[in-house]
Structure 1
Amino acid sequence: MADHLDGNDMLGALAEIFAVDVSTAVAPCTNCRQRNVVAALRVYGGPNAPGLVARCPGCEHVVLRLVRGPESAWLEVSGTLRISMG
């Protein structure tokens, strides 16, 4: 698999969607049930990619997908059981 970034590289894009800092939000993986904070997820994509894909560092299962267009953003979270903050 290609080199990855850490979840911190996705936080700027997520800040445009959420009104709170989600770096320490817990997003358990639906595949292996590992509890990861968003900042610890392995993020793939970059400035020339159509979006960002965040994978579980334990099993590489897709946890979050984020695609941004000029006027819209799509966040798909089916790879996590929940996103909990606090």
Structure 2
Amino acid sequence: MLDGNAAAGVLREVFAADMTMAFTSCAGCGTTYQLGELRLFASAMGMILRCPSCDMAMLRVGNIPNGYWLDLRGVQVIKVARA
């Protein structure tokens, strides 16, 4: 199993900052992690980043022909540091 760092390429295209260093809180258990610490489940259709504590799907990215579909329902907040 890979960790959230393996999602860096796609996340870099979606977000300008290095999102693996951003802090996020799980909507399920409230635990805070850096995105790079989340567990990654990926396929050609997209990817799911899950909370290491409670296994909640925090961030889903779907590949579509002209971009990406994002579902952040499992995230309470994302804190991104300024460059």
- With the length of structure 2 as denominator, give the TM-score of the two structures: 0.91
Q: Which residue of 2 aligns with 1:58?
A: 53
CA distance in 2, matches of 1:22, 1:50: 21
The structure where helix makes up a greater share of residues is 2
Matched-pair identity in %: 35
Q: How far off its partner does 1:45 sit?
A: 1.3
| Unaligned residue ranges in structure 2 (runs of 5+) | none
Q: Secondary structure at the match of 1:75?
A: strand
| Unaligned residue ranges in structure 1 (runs of 5+) | none
Q: Which residue of 1 aligns with 2:76?
A: 81
Q: Secondary structure at the match of 1:13?
A: helix
Does the CA-based 8 Å contact 2:17-2:80 persist in structure 1? no
Q: Which residue of 2 aligns with 1:44?
A: 41
Give the count of matched residue pairs.
81
Does the CA-based 8 Å contact 2:38-2:51 persist in structure 1? yes
The structure where strand makes up a greater share of residues is 2
Q: How far off its partner does 1:70 sit?
A: 2.6
User: Runs (4+) of structure 1 moved beyond 3 Å?
Assistant: none
Q: Secondary structure at the match of 2:47?
A: strand
